[in-house]
Structure 1
């Protein structure tokens, strides 16, 4: 066992929230506030969130390099995604699934009319006691249309994968925040 292990710095994220707003909505003054004005909350979310960053790296070599390693590498910009699975019919969930569409009264009920890849802002947060972590996307879109399963075996939900887009402000596509400074 390492003599440098510090269990107080390990996290088991026990709870979380997600919110959406129109693309370009500014980050709140306090991303960890109990309520976020102008943001619609997703309701129940199954098993948290998944944030991935992928980057294509191409090894470059020269003809007389005999080291067994690349001479240099060419790195593409990182491409991130955030995956979550809302399990409710909250306004945020339905707006995301509609992709800029609408809901209209029709045929004795309400018809869900899909739109064309609407862009939106996203905040996701997770909690472990007093420690919190949040991610902010100023502009993103639904990466693919999720399948919908209604089988009597599980709660209905929609596996959403959100693709961040380059923000109009010129900042980072995915911004990460914590309530403590791990480098202090």
Structure 2
């Protein structure tokens, strides 16, 4: 049996929330506060979140060097998240509008889509014992929102695929040991 496996170091995220705010705002002082100032919550999210990271790597070869690749070039990281928001609220409507506008006409909301927009994004997850967060000050939809099937079985919702336009900050679960803090400071 492995002497290195430790289930106390693993997480199964059971709960989570997503928020949007104006682009470029400062991160919240407390990512896990009950309310997050200057941000709108998406509310209900069906089937969780899918955090994505992609990067193209090109191996450069030269004629007179045969042991391995001569150099490697890397494109910038392409990071983002996809999720399905099912609450028809302000955060969802603004994201669906893609920089357009939501107005009230004859007592009913009217959504007019735009060409795209940027916004800040916060995702936070909890497993009952620990939590983590993902913060990005600038994100944008990487494709138009897709509506869920309207079939009498599926909760009406919208699939959002976001691309992070700045490097996200991940707030890791757990607390480091004093040895890890000391090593990071040296």
Aligned 1:144-183 pairs, distance under 5 A: 144-148=143-147, 149-166=149-166, 173-181=167-175
SS at match of 1:159: strand
- Which residue of the partner structure matches residue 2 of structure 1? 2
- Give ranges in structure 1 of 5+ residues lacking alignment: 167-172
- In structure 2, relative to structure 1, the CA distance for the partners of 1:33 and 1:108 (3 Å cut) is closer
Contact 1:98 1:114 in 2 (8 A): yes
Counterparts of 1:177 and 1:165, CA distance in 2: 18
TM-score between both structures, scaled by the size of structure 1: 0.89
Contact 2:80 2:164 in 1 (8 A): yes
- Give ranges in structure 2 of 5+ residues lacking alignment: 181-186
Aligned 1:45-56 pairs, distance under 5 A: 45-56=45-56
- Which residue of the partner structure matches residue 69 of structure 2? 70
Cα offset, 1:92, TM superposition? 0.8
- Which residue of the partner structure matches residue 90 of structure 1? 89
Contact 1:131 1:178 in 2 (8 A): no
Cα offset, 1:50, TM superposition? 1.3
- Which residue of the partner structure matches residue 124 of structure 2? 125
Structure 1 or 2: larger helix share? 2
Counterparts of 2:127 and 2:32, CA distance in 1: 13
TM-score between both structures, scaled by the size of structure 2: 0.88
Cα offset, 1:80, TM superposition? 0.7
Contact 2:59 2:70 in 1 (8 A): yes
Contact 1:122 1:136 in 2 (8 A): yes
- In structure 2, relative to structure 1, the CA distance for the partners of 1:181 and 1:64 (3 Å cut) is farther
Cα offset, 1:180, TM superposition? 2.1
Cα offset, 1:103, TM superposition? 2.2
Cα offset, 1:45, TM superposition? 0.5
Cα offset, 1:179, TM superposition? 4.1
- Higher mean displacement: 14-23 or 156-165: 156-165
Cα offset, 1:31, TM superposition? 1.1
- Higher mean displacement: 96-105 or 55-64: 96-105
- Which residue of the partner structure matches residue 183 of structure 2? none
Matched pairs, number: 177
Q: Structure 1 residue 12 and structure 2 residue 9: aligned?
A: no
Cα offset, 1:147, TM superposition? 2.1
